[in-house]
Amino acid sequence: MIDNYYPGRHKVSRASTNIASRKTSGPGLLLSFVRAFLLGGATLTTGLVAGVFYAYSVSVDPGLAAQSDASYVATMQEINVRIQNPLFFASFFGAVLFPLAALVVHLPALRSGRFLLISLACLLYIGGGFLLTALVNVPMNDQLATVDPGAPARVLSQAREAYEGPWDFWNGVRTVFSTLSFAALVGACLRAPA
Amino acid sequence: MGGFLQVLTFVAALGCGVAAGVFFAFSAFVMRGLDRLPAEGAVGAMQGINAAAPAPAFMVVLFGTGLACGALVFRSFFVWGGPSAVYLLVGGSLYLICAIGLTVFYHVPRNEALGRVEPGGAGAEGRWSDYMAGWTAWNHLRFAGALVASASLVMALVLSVR
């Protein structure tokens, strides 16, 4: 792509300039590796969580809308149990820890565009993805878990009424915030490290 | 054109990442959750989910990203020798093969077959366990392909601005 901007520049000469400009001492090399690793991890975990929330928004939530109350309650209960596994937690908590760690290793570049974008991503995901989930969706899941799927129709209908609409709405909100956080992190990857 | 290609790569990288997360949700917990239901509930819920998937909100991301990836693969040959070309080719092709190819040629036909199963009927249980096993195994590949595609396109962007 860069070739389009510098059409006259010779490939080999550019490669050698790059190597020269990137030649750094041992600790400097380690720092740039750690920065790239943490920012890469932050970007991928945040993208995955954004996609998980998006999957509910466009697939699971509308897909279960036509189910009977008993079936809806039983299905959401099982999904809410099964989501608590190491793979999902690695991405859900990774999307908090990786960006925060990436922020720390970029502290020396406090005024860089990259630092600014990582900070923005942390705010967006920790507030609009992580805390929203912990404070709104999870308590609703816990409440739903107390309902017996074999309970009388009126009880199931009330339980679903209290859960489905608000849960789907807040899921849409966390989808938007996590996707914006993901976009900010991809943007951060494009900025110079310092 | 350089700027346009970068915007396209940025959008495709986001689309691949979000699609990877969608496949991840099914690989990591949705299918396992459905599998714990009685076959009637599992088949009914999956039929509902499959009926909802073709809505524009999901199709735009899944196939819009596919279109962008096709353009990036095509374009990679015009910037061949440049730092980003290999990453554009690998990222774009992986998404097209794993996400689009598997969806169209593996998952959609099986979803259609499941749609003809009577949830409460005889044999629903056997049909569900066959469907669930193959569908989930190939979904792992959709997930992995889309995730690596996203990483590869981000790498293409990083190298293009360095």
What tens digit of pLDDT does each residue of A119-174 get? 999 999 999 999 999 999 999 999 999 999 999 999 999 999 999 999 999 999 99
Measured CA distances, A156 to A37, A51, A64, A71, A78 (Å): 47, 30, 15, 10, 16
C-alpha A25/C-alpha B53 separation (Å) is: 52
Query: Which of the four pLDDT bands, split at 50, 70 and 90, describes residue A25?
Result: low
Searching chain A, which residue's CA lies closest to the CA of residue B76? A1
pLDDT at A28: 83
Q: Give the Å distances, CA to CA, from A92 to A83, B56, B99.
A: 10, 27, 23
Q: Using CB atoms, pick whichever of A63, A80, A186 lies closest to residue B10.
A: A186
Q: Closest approach of chain B CAs to the CA of A123, in angstroms?
A: 19
| ipTM score assigned to the predicted complex | 0.95
Predicted local confidence at residue A3, as pLDDT: 41
Residue type, A119: S
Query: Which residues fall within 8 angstroms of residue B55, CB to CB, at 6 or more apart?
Result: A58, A62
Residue whose C-alpha is closest to residue A179's, from A61, A43, A38? A43
Asked if residue A53 has pLDDT above 80, the reply is: yes
What is the rounded CA–CA span in Å between residue B11 and residue A171?
22
Can you give the pLDDT at residue B149? 98
Number of CB atoms found within 10 A of residue B139's CB: 22
Binning pLDDT at 50, 70 and 90, where does residue B9 land? very high
Q: What is the mean pLDDT of residues B107-119?
A: 97
Length of chain A: 194
- Report the gap between the CA of A3 and the closest CA in chain B (Å): 6
Predicted pLDDT of residue A17: 44
* Residue A24 pLDDT level (bands cut at 50, 70, 90): low
Q: What is the pLDDT of residue A18?
A: 45
Whether B58 and A49 lie within 8 Å, measured CB to CB: no
Sorted by where each begins, the domain ranges of chain B are 3-160
8 Å CB contact of B48 and A190: no
Burial class (CB in 10 A: 0-12, 13-18, 19+), A13: exposed
Look at A2 and B160 and tell me if their CB atoms are within 8 Å: yes
Predicted local distance difference test score (pLDDT) of residue A14: 45
Of A51, A64, A190, the CB nearest to B24: A51
- Return the residue in B1, B11, B29 with the most chain A beta carbons within 10 A, the one to mutate for interface testing: B29
Residues of chain A with Cβ-Cβ distance to B1 below 8 Å are 4
Q: How far apart are CA A80 and CA A162, in angstroms?
A: 16
Using the beta-carbon criterion (under 8 Å), do B29 and A11 form an inter-chain contact?
Answer: no
Place of tokens 């196939």: B63
| pLDDT > 50? residue A113 | yes
Name the pTM for this structure: 0.91
Q: Measured between alpha carbons, how far apart are the two ends of chain B, in Å?
A: 18
Give the pLDDT band of residue A8 (cuts 50, 70, 90).
very low
Question: In this structure, are residues A120 and A184 in contact, taking their beta carbons and an 8 Å threshold?
Answer: yes
CB contact under 8 A, A67 and B147: no
Please enumerate in sequence order all residues whose Cβ is within 8 A of that of B13, keeping only pairs 6 or more positions apart, or say none: A186, B91, B150, B153, B154, B157
**Residues of chain B contacting A78 with CB distance shorter than 8 Å:** 33-34, 36-37
Give dist(CA A178, CA A133) in Å, integer. Answer: 11
CB contact under 8 A, B151 and A44: yes
Distance from CA of B150 to the nearest CA of A (A): 8
The partner residue sitting opposite B28, judged by closest CB among A2, A18, A85, is A85
Contact across the interface for B2 and A49, Cβ inside 8 Å = no
Q: Please, where are the H alpha helices in chain A?
A: 2-5, 11-22, 26-55, 61-64, 69-82, 86-105, 113-125, 132, 138-145, 153-190
Q: How many residues does chain B have?
A: 162
User: What is the predicted pLDDT for the residue at B27?
Assistant: 98
A22-36, A88-102, A131-145, B11-25, range with the lowest pLDDT:
A22-36
B75 to chain A: nearest residue by CA?
A: A1
- B18 CB neighbours in chain A (<8 A) are 47, 50-51, 54, 179, 182
